[in-house]
Chains A and B, each alone.
Chain A
Amino acid sequence: MKLCPELLCAAALVLLSLGCDKSIVPSDDAFVAGPAPEITAPAPVLAKLTQEQYRNTIAELFGATVVVPGGLEPDTESDGLYAVGSTLASVSPLGAERYSDAAYSIAQQVVADPELRSKVTTCEPKDGEISGCLEEVASKTGATIWRRPLEADEVASLAALGADAVKALGEFDDGLETILAALLQSPNFLYRVTQGEVVDGARRYTSWEVASKLSYFLWNTMPDAELFAAAGANELVEDEELAAQVDRMLADPKARQGVRNFFAEWLDLFKLDDLKKDPNIFKHYAPELGAMAREETLRVAEHLVFDQDADMRDFMTTRTTFASRRLAAIYNVPATATEGFGELNLPGDGPRLGFLGHVSFLAANAHAVSSSPTQRGLFIREKLLCHGVPAPPANVNTAIPEPSDQSKSLKERLMVHMEDPSCSPCHAMMDPLGFGLENFDGVGRYRILDNGVPIDPSGDIDGAEFGGPAELAEDIANHPDYAACIVRKLYSYGNGHHVEKGEGELIDWLIASFEGRGRRLLGLFRDIALSDGFRTLGEVQE
């Protein structure tokens, strides 16, 4: 089977990777891609904690019982990734206010709870002398919250704030609370500031910078004590020590949190919170369906990556899923758990398999009252294959015909996209893929008729034919751009910027390594974390 996308869009933007000549390398653990190419990555980015990272970090610092107030600054996406958007977006005045309010709320909760308070306070004032203890708190707790040791003037300034608070408000704990609140609304907490260091004429991240970058990449939260210790010993600039930490971290349960977050950003799963369907048309819809559907996909991802160390093609083709009763009802299979999510296997000969069979994909990429072949096709192109699809032009009539005797089904009505030359070049990239999924309605239920017309789900994707949704899923799993797209997405995710010139050689190597070693995601995390793309940086751009 040769997979070669034609020049699909007349007004074509760039197809990010055409990959026509790439033969599929067979899965083989013994594959060695050779040494990774040496590159210098672009100038550093200033990443702000995403909402997830903020919440995870607070939980890591003080425990999961601390309530993080809602309404934090919303995340910004760039090509779907918050990890990249967080290096572009500014904090709004409302955002600054909310970070400040949250800092006080968290500080109050910590100081009011003796157990939590003891985590941040290793001393008590002696004989009314408070400054020594305030300095100790600022220095010790500050280093954890800011993820690096504090300089002397920083400690002094924080301790002085604490002392002022004690003076104005009366209690030692007012000082503690003020220091915590100051630490938590500081840019040194909210951002990851990186400058790197020049060694032998080349710029690399410092050990402390690597520690934070690595832990947000692999865990989506702050470093633990062991990683901090490695940074303190300046070990994270050394190949072997870094590899040892990466392996340790990928084996840690927190890696699940990191992998889940990557899937959620890559596949737009956070947007499922706003999933709305017309309940008169879709009886299985409920306001909580979106969050439920996200959890299903994340559990499948977690299962494949951690329990199976699976080939990422399996994400497209697995029949194993984790469904709540409501999801099982949509899939028309018996639920295996009365509460929460139960593991179950979808029928082996059925049309539903892999991520393209999930409600999280099918319902999110559909309209409130119907399916949407165009939206589903667009998602496959952009998210799964990294193909660019241009925006529709202005001043064209975008109406599609109402159902009629000649064209009753949505597929028949959308055929105008194929006939109109101002529509067809781009819609030919999208709609036929979506037609392959028309057996699933706007919420993801299987059907064989659309408005009384039997559904014909056959088609082809870039030359590979499919007879229906199951074969479409297989075709995407085996599309060379699928593996390449995962590499590009994870690389951008880990580095906070899109792939730039000068990184192409490394990307090619990462793709070869990923494919050569059976497309295992943890291996790709490891390859990226150990590559120059992750560890080096260019000069700050003035």
Chain B
Amino acid sequence: MKFDRRTLLKGILGGAVVTVGLPPLEFFMNSHGTAYAEGASGFPQRFGLFFWGNGMSPSRWVPEDEGAGWTLSEQLLPLANLQDDITLVSGMRVHVPNIEPHHATACGILTGRPLILDNNGHTFPGPTIDQVIASHIGNETLYRSLEFGAEPGSGMSHNGPWSLNPPEKSPIALFERLFGPSFQLPGEDAVVDPSLGVRRSVLDAVMGELKKVQGAVGSADKIRLEQHLEGIRSLEKRLAKLEEDPPNLEACAYPNQPEAEYPDIEGRPQLKEKNEAMCDVIALALACDQTRVFSNVLTKPLTNILFTDAPAGHHNLTHDEPEPQPEVNNIVIQCIEALAYQLEALRAIEEGDGNLLEHSLVLATSDVSNGKLHSADEFPIILAGTAGGKLKKGIHLRTVANENASKVLFSICRAFGMNLADFGEEEGLVTESLSAIEV
């Protein structure tokens, strides 16, 4: 296994090196003789991020009781059918400085590091958790990771500073990308397209040119070009895989084709419908092992989108609606319903004796806890699935007050077999994971 050069470069830029230690032995072995991150079941582990904007209402979110068999709170009721598959973590705080409301805490919960902020804008200092995991388990699949989201916007998945992975916002485009003409079902007869080889030679030439340009530019631009190279490399690898037989996975099938368009209704985007269509596509993309990492940004930080039936934009309402904020509450519930759909779509796919959700870990979170206050404490954190038996499920864990939220990210890395000494930076740095959720 080679060092991930991109991660190293990002680490250098961020001022601290992300150490990627040697993985446990099991990562080296599988029946195909390729590195293969597996849970106990023998099925690959997958990671997903589910993100919605503007947080929740702690008083309607945090359950009254702890442990197994906890009682669902009002805003978590949509997860009733999934309670045995999730772990709710409450009481944590995102410790990075809250210098730019919404963005600083979004950065903190996804990277464990402080936001980079200057007079001209802000960006994330390092990779978000989905990319940290993708750097570890994303190298064997057609796509290292897939980003999508129902609200048009900038997405949350970052590789490093000024390096965003823009999400696909159109369900039909996501479908075409993953299940278009180049897709092949296991066992399907297919003629290898002779132009693939030519395309790969072109990519080789492009990589040569990128390296030549790297020699002519400053250090910051070298890192940018390294990211571009990474994209070309993964594209080339994908073309090479298209010349091979697809993985023989029983659950792999074509998803339903989404609608061509989802026009706004009364000025309100069809968030629910778009989310459901994309969740259906992504579940089968995972089942076909086209990718093992996804991020779903239902709505973005600070979103002011008009939800169905809402009398004003979401962000507006969080600040302007008087307590007890019934409209905000309705919107949070809609967001958690969208999460429930995503999780049920994963659970519906059987893999061996288990299902896709069990073999996955989905982190669901937001940019703030209480949107009205931009608060960083009592942060919303839901973990669904077990990453193939590596994390507990079915419990509500209430941590000590204001426990550092980076510990959850550390636990996630551990669940995927990453052997890290610590996670995060500055106030976000932790040297211990949240062992209470680990198996």
Contacts and interface: CB of A to CB of B under 8 A. Distances in A.
Interface of A: 13-14, 16, 43-46, 71, 73-74, 76-79, 84-85, 88-97, 100, 104, 157-158, 161, 164-165, 168-169, 174, 178, 181-182, 185-188, 191, 193, 195, 274, 276-280, 285, 287, 367-370, 388, 391-402, 498, 540-542
Given A157-B205, A193-B217, A368-B304, A287 B264 contact: yes
Contact of A94 (B161, B168, B223): B168
A89 B228 CA distance: 10
13 contacts: A71-B168, A76-B164, A78-B121, A161-B198, A169-B198, A182-B205, A186-B209, A187-B228, A193-B217, A367-B313, A394-B374, A400-B320, A540-B217
B374 A89 contact: no
A74 B119 contact: no
Contact of B202 (A74, A185, A188, A398): A185
Interface in B287-336: 304-306, 311-313, 316, 319-323
B266 A391 contact: no
Which 6 A-B residue pairs are closest in the complex by CB-CB distance? A96-B231, A90-B227, A394-B98, A90-B163, A93-B231, A79-B120
Contacts of B166: 73-74, 92, 94-95
A390 to B, nearest CB: 9
A213 to B, nearest CB: 15
A178 B373 contact: no
Most buried by A among B119, B163, B206: B206
A376 to B, nearest CB: 15
A91 B206 contact: no
Given A540-B216, A540-B218, A395 B267 contact: no
A161 B306 contact: no
Contacts, number: 209
Contacts of A498: 119-120
A90 B203 contact: no
Interface string B98-109: 111100100000
A187 B159 contact: no
Contact of A93 (B100, B165, B205): B165
B250 to A, nearest CB: 28
A398 B373 contact: yes
A227 B286 CA distance: 51
Most buried by B among A14, A91, A388, A396: A91
Contact of B201 (A88, A95, A164, A287): A164
B58 to A, nearest CB: 13
Given A84-B120, A394-B98, A402-B322, A187 B213 contact: yes
B152 interface: yes
B312 A368 contact: yes
A15 to B, nearest CB: 11
Nearest to A166: B198
A279 B267 contact: yes
Interface string B148-160: 0000101000011
A187 B374 contact: no
Nearest to A369: B312
Most buried by A among B143, B159, B199, B208: B199
Given A79-B119, A193-B217, 8 more contacts: A79-B120, A94-B166, A96-B231, A104-B199, A161-B198, A169-B194, A178-B202, A367-B313
Contacts of B223: 90
